[in-house]
């Protein structure tokens, strides 16, 4: 029985381990314990922000997936709220079992319940599996996502 809920501080090591267990994340993250202070600071900022929802998928007591939803107010589209999904990860030993799909559908429901008119996300151009995954969920890859490191 897989359920979804807001993440708690005690979920952080499992979440960071999933972010690091990824071809792109491996070079960017540090899942060693105790976790780097940056992760704790970021969790506290997310947790305190009513427009942020860091979520986990759990099977019993085990954290098996994570994602982050940000609810964004904006003037465009006559002032429509948008939901933005990021950092979607499923634990390595549970991939290809449909958990990602359930989790993203749950996230879309959260956006609906906040009256968002649109859900948006970006994925690296190299993640071909992710592109099929989001297209199957009804997303359209209509935009180019630009990044600049500071």
Considering beta carbons, is residue 1 or 67 the nearer one to a copy of itself?
A: 67
CA–CA gap between residue 14 and residue 63 (Å, rounded): 6
Considering beta carbons, is residue 96 or 113 the nearer one to a copy of itself?
A: 113
Nearest approach in angstroms of CB 127 to a copy of itself is 9
Radius of gyration of the chain (CA): 15
Considering beta carbons, is residue 1 or 37 the nearer one to a copy of itself?
A: 37
Q: In a 10 Å sphere around its CB, with 0-12 CB exposed, 13-18 middle and 19+ buried, how is residue 103 labelled?
A: buried
Q: Is 102 in the site for a copy of itself (CB under 8 A)?
A: no
| Residues 87 and 65: beta-carbon distance below 8 Å | no
| Residues 83 and 108: beta-carbon distance below 8 Å | yes
Contacting residues for 147 by C-beta, under 8 A, at least 6 apart: none
CA–CA gap between residue 139 and residue 127 (Å, rounded): 15
Q: Is 143 in the site for a copy of itself (CB under 8 A)?
A: yes
| Residues 64 and 100: beta-carbon distance below 8 Å | no
Residue 75 carries which DSSP code?
A: S
Lay out the site mask for a copy of itself across 71-100 (x = CB under 8 A, - = otherwise).
Answer: -xxxxxxxxxx----xx-------------
Stretch that binds a copy of itself, among 55-63, 68-76, 93-101 (CB under 8 A): 68-76
Considering beta carbons, is residue 52 or 94 the nearer one to a copy of itself?
A: 52
Nearest approach in angstroms of CB 27 to a copy of itself is 10
Binding site for a copy of itself (CB under 8 A): 12, 15-16, 19, 25, 28-30, 36-43, 45-46, 49, 51-52, 54, 68, 70, 72-81, 86-87, 108, 111-112, 116-125, 131, 134-135, 137-150
């Amino acid at each position: 029985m897989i359920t979804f809920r807001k993440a708690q501080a005690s979920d952080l090591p499992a979440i960071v381990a999933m972010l690091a267990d990824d071809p792109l994340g491996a070079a960017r993250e540090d899942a060693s314990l105790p976790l780097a202070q940056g992760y704790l600071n970021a969790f506290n900022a997310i947790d305190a922000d009513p427009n942020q929802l860091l979520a986990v998928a759990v099977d019993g007591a085990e954290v098996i997936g994570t994602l982050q939803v940000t609810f964004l107010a904006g003037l465009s589209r006559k002032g429509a709220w948008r939901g933005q999904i990021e950092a979607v990860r499923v634990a390595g030993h549970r991939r290809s079992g449909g958990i990602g799909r359930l989790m993203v559908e749950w996230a879309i429901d959260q956006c609906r319940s906040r009256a968002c008119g649109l859900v948006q996300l970006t994925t690296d151009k190299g993640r071909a599996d992710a592109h099929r995954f989001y297209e199957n969920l009804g997303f359209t890859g209509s935009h180019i996502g630009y990044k600049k490191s500071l």
